[in-house]
Amino acid sequence: MNATDRNIRPAIRQLDEAAINRIAAGEVVERPASAVKELAENALDAGAQRIEIDYADGGKTLIRVRDDGHGMRGEDLPLALSRHATSKIDGSDLLNIHSFGFRGEALPSLAAVGRLTITSRMAGEEGASITVDGGRMGLVRPDAAQFGTVVTLRDLFHATPARLKFMRSDRAEAQAIADTVKRLAMAAPYVGFVLRDMSGSEQREIFRADAAQGALFDALEERLARVLGRDFTENALRIDAEREGLRLSGFAGLPTYSRGAAIAQFFFVNGRPVRDKLLLGALRAAYMDVLARDRHPVIVLNLDCAPELVDVNVHPAKSEVRFRDPGLARGLVISGLRHALAAGGHRSSSTVGDAMLGAMQPQSAHRYQMERPSGGALRKAYQMQAPQGFAEDAGLWEAGVVSAPQTPAPAPEHEAAPLGAARAQLHGNYIIAQTETGMVIVDQHAAHERLVYERLKRQRAENGVAAQALLIPEIVELSVHEAAHLLEIAPDLAALGLVIEGFGGASVVVRETPAILGEVNAHALIREIVDDLADLGQGERLEARIDAVLSRMACHGSVRAGRMMRVEEMNALLREMEAVPHSGQCNHGRPTYVELSLAQIEKLFARR
């Protein structure tokens, strides 16, 4: 740049209204789903009880939102299309916001980049409509409109063709619209939603959720069953917790009902869908103790509070919020979820049993209609089917002189328990238990691992974990970094019953181990603890790192696969599982047992 160029200063000019609206549209309307969100939220703010949404070609050529809200007068339509014109706030207090929208940007932004028509009628008023094409506003005209408002947006981004190049395929944009509508449907269970695809010659109904009835939790459960499926509501816990003006409510999936990606986590603040890092971090902390690191919980949670306790005016799309007391909000989410998960006891997801059935089901199964035979037919069949060597007793058996072989009956009190009575152990690791309505298969190592972990946590909270001195201290060779990392938390490890000291260079010596673990391979335990700490990283809180150590200790102190157990031991394990929270999954989030009902078992054999 030469001296002449530096002396040329660009002139400062005021942008015209059309340019301002197109710039605003870049912030507010990212894609067709953003337009649907803004228009549907306007309908909710208008008190709509039913919202119908039509789109074509992924929303690129048509978006139509029809509602039965209170509507607008004809003379108000031009004002509604002006920037920063809104009926929802007066501008005096931006922290006292009770509506979804409040910026007054959505309609003028949409009108600046597409062809927008608004048709509306208030109760007791004549209907009217207005059209804006690429920012050029037409005249208000009378219209024989129904009660409520219809907003039709055609050819989105036709006024800004460069934006069209960034649109994804019609299918991807349609999926984003459906996700947006479903998220709003979860926020407003008392409002009916209909979503239709108008592409081509025939319309297709993509989603429908009629207005739910009854109390809040019942209505929300009905809506979530419609949006997320019955599997979720059947395997979710109700959340209802309150602290210092904040209330957390909703449903949280059991740890064994989890996903491989964080695609089913829905947070709402005062009914507004948000994606907030603070809340997501609190969710991870709440499930940290019961879920593997590569699994993600399924939740639908709403945080209610006074509007002045949260700032929703921090993002143009209003998808982020800022709490006045972030620690209070985070603590409520963590404690509310942890209490609910603990109250869930030994519950495990019913989908675990369904998955087992799916794995066992043959590719093609014949169905047979079976009738229950008479008693005489049964006796005759028993004679014909008697094992070799028992045939000579058939007559005596029928006469009642010789009793048929019987498997020892389980104790009634055990069979009536949720996890039933132990009947067998297979392959040295799987306990088979009989319940009143079916059977349970327990992974003894995974179950005992969770039980030992909970005992360790309980001891730590009460008096610290009891330790036992090793007759011969064990020296473990590590890298310099690993040894330094481990010795940093040596005092905390001592409170857990694991006493270590530096032994020069990169070595540590293990002098005591937790008594609850019994005989333990100290070298293997230290190595795995070091690996777990490295996996968590220094950024994790000390509590998380200590829990990881406890979890690893529990794994080393659990009943190993291959150990044969007596019936009394198996029943004792089942009873303890019923009494201990979180015992439906091991420390890594895997299920500890699978339950099958008689109906499911009979289905395997094509009896139903």
CATH number assigned to the domain comprising residue 196: 3.30.565.10
What interhelical angle do 567-579 and 444-462 show, nearest 10?
A: 50
Q: Which residue has the tokens 């997801």?
A: 349
* Domain identity same for 169 and 58: yes
Q: Which residue has the tokens 């309150």?
A: 242
Element (H, E) at 456: helix 444-462
Structural domain contains residue 505: yes
Res 165 pLDDT > 90: no
Q: How crowded is residue 356: how many other Cβ atoms within 10 Å of its Cβ?
A: 17
pLDDT, residue 22, reads 53
- Which residue has better confidence, 557 or 345? 345
Report the range of poorest mean pLDDT among 270-274, 349-353, 412-416, 422-426: 349-353
3-class SS of residue 354: helix
Pairing of strands 438-443, 499-502: unpaired
Identify the domain boundary among 344, 360, 389. Answer: 344
Cα angle at 289 between 284 and 295, to 5 degrees? 55
Q: What is the mean pLDDT of residues 277-289?
A: 88
* Domain identity same for 170 and 111: yes
Structural domain contains residue 182: yes
Q: Which residue has the tokens 């039933």?
A: 420
pLDDT-based confidence at residue 12 (cuts at 50, 70, 90): low
Report how far apart, in Å, the C-alpha atoms of 574 and of each of 96, 342, 398, 415, 546 are.
53, 17, 38, 11, 28
Strand order in the sheet with 507-514: 467-477, 507-514, 499-502
Res 247 pLDDT > 70: yes
Structural domain contains residue 277: yes
3-class SS of residue 577: helix
**CB of 30 closer than 8 Å to CB of 317:** yes
**CB of 499 closer than 8 Å to CB of 521:** no
* Domain identity same for 333 and 460: no
pLDDT, residue 91, reads 44
Bridge partners of 274?
Answer: 267
* Domain identity same for 286 and 329: yes
* Domain identity same for 234 and 87: no
* Domain identity same for 156 and 304: no
Res 269 pLDDT > 60: yes
pLDDT-based confidence at residue 464 (cuts at 50, 70, 90): confident
Identify the domain boundary among 209, 239, 261. Answer: 209
Cα angle at 384 between 378 and 385, to 5 degrees? 85
Structural domain contains residue 479: yes
Q: Which residue has the tokens 């029928």?
A: 398
The domain that holds 237 is classified in CATH as: 3.30.230.10
Q: What is the mean pLDDT of residues 151-170?
A: 82
* Domain identity same for 162 and 251: no
Here the tokens at position 86 are 């809104």
pLDDT tens digits, residue range 111-157?
A: 888 899 999 999 888 999 999 887 788 899 999 888 999 999 998 88
* Domain identity same for 442 and 512: yes
Sequence-distant (≥ 6) Cβ neighbours of residue 193 within 8 angstroms: 50, 51, 52, 53, 181, 184, 185, 207, 208, 209
Here the tokens at position 354 are 């369904």
Identify the domain boundary among 344, 377, 399. Answer: 344
* Domain identity same for 444 and 338: no
Res 311 pLDDT > 90: no
Structural domain contains residue 283: yes
- Over the chain, what is the mean pLDDT? 81
3-class SS of residue 169: coil
* Domain identity same for 196 and 284: no
pLDDT, residue 306, reads 87
Structural domain contains residue 547: yes
Domain count across the chain: 3
d(CA 333, CA 277): 13
Q: How crowded is residue 135: how many other Cβ atoms within 10 Å of its Cβ?
A: 21
- Residue 321 CA to chain centroid, in angstroms? 20
pLDDT, residue 95, reads 52
Domain that holds residue 239: 216-344
* Domain identity same for 200 and 282: no
The domain that holds 472 is classified in CATH as: 3.30.1540.20
The reply to whether the predicted model has a pTM over 0.85 is: no
**CB of 207 closer than 8 Å to CB of 193:** yes
Res 87 pLDDT > 80: no
* Domain identity same for 429 and 555: yes
